[in-house]
Amino acid sequence: MNTFPKSLEEAVNQAKEATLAALADGYNRVQVELVIAEIPLQAQALALEFTTIFTEYGSGLKVLFPDTGAAALAKRDWGEVPFRITDLGSRFTPVETQIAPEDELFLLVCPSSVEVERVETLCNAAGDRPVVLLIPQLEDVSIVGIGLAARKLRERFISTLYSAYYFQALEGAALLRCHPSPWQIWLEKEEGYELAAEQAQKPVGDALERLLLKLTSDRPEDSSIPRPKKSGILSNLQKMIRALNQ
């Protein structure tokens, strides 16, 4: 059974283990999602942290950033590394040209919905080779849309991505998925978090709201009862973000 991560470091370590376990179980299109507002700003540091679990691939690992600027910054900041760094291409550079026969695993860093078509092309061109999407943000409705084309995109591609690790902070709760465990709702208590429910499928939208309402409906309304103390991954987020940069 999972334990609730007490820090960002614990969450990242859980995500690493879940990613390796999912790949070992045959999932080749894997997502690692930390739904925390500040996390995309630390994508480069988090990506470097994640490359350590793929050392066996050596130069067979390719790290891809959404654009040439982000890839250039990583090359500058990381210095000499045993793997290759590139980007998802552009209007003038098809993403297929960024894939080489010697590539064995692709780590795609913080792709957004703007790049969703290129991400799909990359996954298709990769064939059976694993693709790990680190903190992807592919479902911005304002960009992907809500019409027929968007629905087909979700059915054709986004729905095929496997969530090896997912963490989202909610009001007084958190949604956690750590492969191979099911989706879990954790409720904030006086100290820490307590597992409240498990589901085979990810609860979203109205279904998530109804579940949270059901789980919290038995909570007493007495205002004299102290509110839960903000702890762990939520209260210490800024400190842990700074640790990533060290």
Over the chain (246 residues), the average pLDDT of each successive run of 10 is: 87 96 97 90 94 94 95 96 93 88 97 88 94 87 54 79 94 94 93 92 89 78 43 52 54
User: What is the structure's pLDDT at 197?
Assistant: 94
Give the tokens for residue 96.
Answer: 């297929």
- Tell me the DSSP string of 76-135: HHH-S-SSEEEE---SSS-GGGG--TT--EEEEES-BGGGHHHHHHHHHHHTTS-EEEES
- Tell me the DSSP string of 199-235: ESS---HHHHHHHHHHHHTTS---TTSPPPPP-HHHH
User: What is the structure's pLDDT at 171?
Assistant: 87
Classify 23 as helix, strand or coil: helix
Cis peptide, bond prior to residue 40, ω within 30 of zero = no
User: What is the structure's pLDDT at 143?
Assistant: 46
Give the tokens for residue 187.
Answer: 């409720």
Could you tell me the residue ranges of all domains in the chain? Answer: 8-244
User: What is the structure's pLDDT at 216?
Assistant: 85
Q: From the CB of residue 51, how many other CB atoms can be counted at a distance below 10 Å?
A: 17
User: What is the structure's pLDDT at 228?
Assistant: 42
pTM for the model stands at 0.86
User: What is the structure's pLDDT at 195?
Assistant: 94
CB 138 within 8 A of CB 116: yes
Number of helical (H) and strand (E) elements in the chain, helices listed first: 9, 9
- Classify 8-244 by CATH class: alpha beta
Distance CA 175, CA 114 (A): 26
User: What is the structure's pLDDT at 241?
Assistant: 53
User: What is the structure's pLDDT at 204?
Assistant: 85
Q: If 0-12 CB within 10 Å is exposed, 13-18 middle and 19+ buried, where does residue 113 land?
A: buried
